[in-house]
Structure 1
Amino acid sequence: MAPANQNFALRPMLPADIPLLAEIFRASVEELAVEDYSDAQIEAWVEAADDEEAFGKRLSDQLTLLATMDGAPVGFASLKGSDVIDMLYVHPAAAGQGAAKLLVDALEKLAGARGAKKLTVEASDTAHDFFRRRGYTAKSRNTVLRGDEWLANTTMEKSFGDETAEPGATLQ
């Protein structure tokens, strides 16, 4: 695994970023999900970015942050409402260097500031271990239809500030 890159920064999404974010989305799915999904599933998944206007509206309707490296966007994440991570994608060239961690750290802080007691994500099989390592627990296994293809994912959840936990106890 590559060492964490200290040149990452965060900024909000701008409308002009949408074409590049669609490309990051496509590259991320096409290159990082190949071990977990079939070619047909990947093709159906990336079609979500074919309509850039709809893709951009989805991101614009949410709180969307970009991770940049030396000023160039390399990943993005979006918070739907106050308690759902809707999208998290990092360009394969920046994968494993800390961009996803930076994005999710920020969304967790923002969710907490918005009063969320927990954060939920429908994690792809590719992202499952990333979220598990961050303290998210699996709640249900799902299948979602994309085009003519069924894709599996897992609803995962992380609770914040659980006052019922005993001091020193770890939340499972």
Structure 2
Amino acid sequence: MIEIREATLEDIPFITTIFRDTITNVNAKDYSEKQIRQWASGASDIDQWKDRIANSYFIVAELNDTIVGFAYLSKGNYFDGLFVHKDFLRRGFGIKLMRIIESQALAEGYEVIKADVSITALPFFEDQYYIVEKKQKKNYKGLAFEIFKVYKEL
């Protein structure tokens, strides 16, 4: 049974492990080794994770008391992150997290939700009716990453 709940600071070790493992195992097919290393290093910025949990609508998905994914919404309608453990992909966790994030944006009065998504995540978002606004380069810690600015009318 999937349980969704708001994240706590005690969840950070599990969240950062999923973040790092997803990038190094799933996103590695679409980005260079250097990009993967740089992106995955974001798991070590504990203060940033604390800030995200404190200042975003941040939820985790649990299966049998084990965190298997997380998502967070910032600035009311910016879908800032969605990560599912590599061993739990294509089992409905991502869609469930996405629907709750979308519902939260709608509850906050927004009619459109926006996100910047990786090459890897783009097909998943497109399958859920997100529309590509534009392809762009985003600088992260000195490296350029190809990402897609997407949106969905709620």
Contact 1:136–1:156 (CA under 8 A) maintained in structure 2: yes
Instruction: Return the structure number with greater helix share.
Output: 2
The alignment partner of 2:59 has SS state of: strand
The residue number in structure 1 matching 2:76 is: 82
Amino acid at match of 1:152: E
Identical aligned residues as a percent: 25
The residue number in structure 2 matching 1:144 is: 138
The residue number in structure 1 matching 2:108 is: 114
Residue of 32, 49, 67 corresponding to 1:38: 32
CA–CA distance in structure 2, aligned partners of residues 131 and 51 of structure 1: 26
Q: How many residues align?
A: 154
CA–CA distance in structure 1, aligned partners of residues 112 and 78 of structure 2: 9
**Matches of residues 84-99 of structure 1 in structure 2 within 5 Å?**
84-99=78-93
The alignment partner of 2:35 has SS state of: helix
The residue number in structure 1 matching 2:43 is: 49
Deviates more, 1:53-62 or 1:14-23: 53-62
Residue 123 of structure 1, CA deviation? 0.8
Residue 34 of structure 1, CA deviation? 1.4
Report the TM-score, using the length of structure 1 for normalisation.
Answer: 0.86
Residue of 57, 73, 98 corresponding to 2:67: 73
Are 2:59 and 1:62 equivalent residues in the alignment? no
Contact 2:69–2:85 (CA under 8 A) maintained in structure 1: yes
